[in-house]
Amino acid sequence: MGAWIETGDLLIEGVRIDPQLGGLEPGNAEAAGSRPSPVEDGAIWIAGGRIRAIGPRDAIASLAGRGAVRFDGQGALALPGLWDSHLHLGAWAMARSRVDLRGCRDLDEVASRLRARDATLAPGAWLVAVALERHRVDPGGAGLDGRLLDRLFPHRPVAVFTHDLHSVVVNRRAFELLAPGGPDAAWPQGAVVQKDPRTGEPTGVLQERAVGMVDSMIAPGLPELTQQIAQAQVELARLGITGVQTPDGPDEFAALSVLRQRGALRLRVRFLPPVSMLDTLKSARIRQGFGDEWLALGQVKAFADGSLGSLTAALFEPYAHSQWPSHRGQLLMDAGAVATLAAEAARAGFSLAIHAIGDRACRAVVDGLERARSEGAWLPTLAYRMEHVQLIRPEDMRRLAALGVVASMQPVHAPSDRPAVERHWVGRTSRAYAWRSLRRSGVVLAFGSDAPVETADPLDGLFAALTGQWRSDAPGSSGWHQDETLSLAEAVAAYTAGAAAAVGEQEVRGTLRPGMAGDVVLVSPDLREADPATPEGLQAWRRARVVATIVGGQVVYPPPA
């Protein structure tokens, strides 16, 4: 690959260092006022993969000595290495080679992109597309189904995944491969097969665990997946991402293990195994934390509900404007099931990361975890986490804080989901994407992207956390939920120290301090001076880019000239 500089000692000089952005403790922005003043011409010395010293350039350069390789930061702002706390690495890597439907304005544009790819495929090959935004191109939910795909592509199997990855639309050829026994064949528990209420025939829309069946059918072989992930980590380095926490399956873990064995992994990965792997891990006596500083096991990942885009997130009150009256989503785990799984995972040496989007699912998770802790089925030295937390009631925020559960959230969901939230969560939108309220309640935030559901670019995530908007939104347009937005220091902490806390590694990474991991990201221009509410500040955010990414003292971006 060759896209990095390997060094013994590295001296990063000519950088701006701000204690509020480099040494901020998760959940304690207020304490930043007592920290030392910013350094405008600073340096960071990394040796043995760890930060040895940080401060004014001349003082640090004299400590590093002549043997250190020097890297000119050119006045960029230095941040701790950015982590994506929830990125589907295998799916994101593979999605880059599939039809991307993001940004389509209507069904005609969807059909046009699919036809363009269809013309390039061999006979009988699968046509696979991702990132279908149904709320944008098909707001009524009745236009894009398997019957439309049958008319367009009767000659090959087709699978079109929605952007939330909780639904997939397939044509008849694909459906027959998935269910050779016919539409009445048995499906796994938790699989949703939508049927026409008039005819009882499948519409081609599959949801939740049925999506995994399609994934398995089109899964690439290990060599292809390994190659795609190897290429994907180069792009993540360009974005300033030094580590990811990825809920994936055994195929992805195998590919990551191959890269680690080859010494080709230059991205720190914490792998969150699915519940389906728990028995295997328990039998092998492999516990959470197994691995090394590059690849290690994190929490067991489980699902308490579905998603907003597929209207399967579990709510207390029914969805507005749904084609199913009184529809409240799909609760996949109640409190009893959560407590039982927590006990089973604890016996195997694992804590939990539970997907919960709707307020009814968040309540079930909090209830279940409280029960597990009261019954002693709890591992206090490990981090527990809740994924997404997109709609939660205030009383459950306080209970989440009391449990010490980290809220793993994705700021880019807010501007992306705004149309769907305002259409379907009428009367409760003020409780959606409640970053500041959660933080005030004492909950530690860990930020990520949910890519390929959304963009993996953390600069877009930071901007969304500050404004509730996209960087590309029109100047002067109103951001969403301004009372729930964060400061730059708070948002950066969620991508760094908070992300480290989500996997129990806050003592070794996430801040720029001596002894911490030598993971640094350089960003230009200086975002401290860029107020998104002003035209000049907005333009600075739009110009913002990562100048360099350093992981363990190795410059992994930019590639050598």
User: Quick one: pLDDT at residue 5?
Assistant: 45
pLDDT at residue 142, as a whole number: 59
> Which single residue is written with the structure tokens 């730059």?
488
**Quick count: other Cβ atoms within 10 Å of Cβ 428?**
15
pLDDT at 302: 98
- Please check whether residue 532 is in contact with residue 541, taking contact to mean a CB–CB distance below 8 angstroms: yes
pLDDT of residue 191: 83
Q: What is the CA radius of gyration of the chain?
A: 23
Whether 497 contacts 66, CB under 8 Å? no
Distance CA 45, CA 265 (A): 23
DSSP three-state, residue 191: strand
Nearest to 106 by CA among 154, 131, 149, 143: 143
Alpha helix ranges (H) inside 425-484 = 435-440, 458-467
Q: With beta carbons less than 8 A apart as the criterion, state whether 276 and 282 touch.
A: no
The runs of H, that is alpha helices, within 319-412 are 335-348, 359-374, 394-403
Six-digit token string for 171: 């044509």
Beta carbons within 10 angstroms of residue 297's beta carbon? 22
Residues 229 and 259 sit within 8 Å (Cβ to Cβ): yes
pLDDT means over runs of 10, the chain (561 residues) = 54 95 49 65 95 94 91 97 97 89 89 94 92 76 82 94 87 88 73 85 88 86 95 97 97 97 96 97 97 97 94 95 87 98 98 98 98 97 98 98 98 93 94 97 98 95 96 77 94 97 97 95 96 93 97 92 63
Contacts of 398 (CB under 8 A, 6+ apart): 441, 442
Compute the residue count for the chain.
Answer: 561
Residue with tokens 């801040």: 511
